[in-house]
Amino acid sequence: MNEQERKQHIKATFDAVAARYDCDALRFFEHAAALLPEVFDFEGGESVLDVAAGTGIPALAMAPHLPRGTVTAVDLSEGMLAQAAAKCHASGLGNVVFQQMDMTAMAFQDAAFDAANCSFGVFFVEEMAGTLRHIAAKVRPGGKVVTTHFRAGSFGPLAELFLRRVDAYGLPAPPPGWLRVASEEQNIELFEAAGLAQPQVASHDVGYLLDDAAHWWEVIWNAGFCGLIAPLDENRLARFRQEHLAEVSELMTADGLPLDIGVLITKGVKPRQLENG
Ligand SMILES: C[S@@+](CC[C@H](N)C(=O)[O-])C[C@H]1O[C@@H](n2cnc3c(N)ncnc32)[C@H](O)[C@@H]1O
């Protein structure tokens, strides 16, 4: 798959899951986004670019902290953005705008924003440093750039069993792209390669107990994992689900099914001399 085909596949995957993405099983996305206002330490009047905004979870977590500011949220998937816009409308927030855009080629002027955020987005592209440099180019000198990525070990044995089964069904099961930025060192390296100054990483646990194996299926079916099993026809998918949930059920504890999710939030500063990206 070339980069263009990969993007099409990602867009199709997120368009397909958009209406299901804001579900209880995936609430770690909200837990992670809730940490952002403190990381940015907003004054309240900033213009913030939110990249790979999805259904607006980070944008909606930041917007109430920007009473005189704005969030401009961009994503490749119109389906995800439609959900974001509906949620924003329902919440009465008037300071968020949404635009469909590829994060590797954003049509904003350089230094147009005071700060930029990208939660669980950069690892979808092949060229992560170039993309982060492009995001940073949209931020004024001295502004903050923040990313959130999964920490190594996230999803634990559940994801390992899932990927093994994907492979057993003859489907491509490449190592998850997020493993490329799953350690503190990898995130520091990424920020340095993107020309960002003073990178700092904070690690947080945002996991919880799922009720049962069916709840784990919601994690798979309602977000990015879903793209790996999209080629299965109805019968094979039903068989896959049954077999996978049987193996996952064996990991149940008396309290529930542990979903271990760690996140690494990295903050850097746009230096005065960063070249245009
Ligand atoms: C796991 S979701 C994260 C969404 C949101 N940031 C959150 O924290 O809930 C990843 C998002 O990245 C978007 N995405 C992937 N590649 C992209 C690209 N090249 N340009 C813009 N968005 C992209 C997907 O459409 C999807 O909405």
Indicate which CATH number applies to the domain containing 71: 3.40.50.150
User: Would you call 74 helix, strand, or coil by DSSP?
Assistant: strand
Probe target for ligand 1 pocket from 76, 126, 131, with the most ligand atoms within 8 Å of CB: 76
CA gap 191, 267 in Å, rounded: 8
Question: 101 and 138 in contact (C-beta within 8 Å)?
Answer: no
pLDDT tens-place string over residues 241-260: 999 999 999 999 999 999 99
| Alpha carbon distance 16, 20 (integer Å) | 9
**Cα separation, 44 vs 130, whole angstroms:** 30
Please check whether residue 84 lies inside any domain of the structure. Answer: yes
Summarised one tens digit per residue, pLDDT across range 34-84 is 999 999 999 999 999 999 999 999 999 999 999 999 999 999 999 999 999
User: Residue 274: what pLDDT?
Assistant: 54
Q: What is the pLDDT of residue 1?
A: 80
pLDDT single digits (tens) 119-174: 999 999 999 999 999 999 999 999 999 999 999 999 999 999 999 999 999 999 99
Report the domain count for the chain: 1
72 lies in a domain?
Answer: yes
For the entire predicted model, the pTM comes to: 0.96
Per-residue model confidence as pLDDT tens digits over 200-228: 999 999 999 999 999 999 999 999 899 99
Q: Look at ligand 1, atom 8, and give the residue with the nearest C-alpha.
A: 119
> Do the domain assignments include residue 28?
yes
Q: Which residues line ligand 1 (CB under 6 A)?
A: 7, 10, 14, 29, 33, 52-54, 57-58, 75-77, 80, 102-104, 119-121, 124-125, 223-224
User: In this structure, is the dihedral angle defined by the CA atoms of residues 122, 126, 129 and 130, taken in order, positive or negative?
Assistant: negative
Cα 99 to Cα 91: distance, rounded to the nearest angstrom: 19
Q: What would the two tokens of residue 115 be? A: 């700060």
DSSP 8-class letter at 88: H
Max Cα-Cα span within the chain: 57
Q: How far is the CA of 18 from the centre of ligand 1 (A)?
A: 11
Tell me whether strands 96-100 and 70-75 are parallel, antiparallel or unpaired: parallel
135 located within any domain: yes
Which residue range(s) make up the domain with 107? 3-155+174-207+262-269
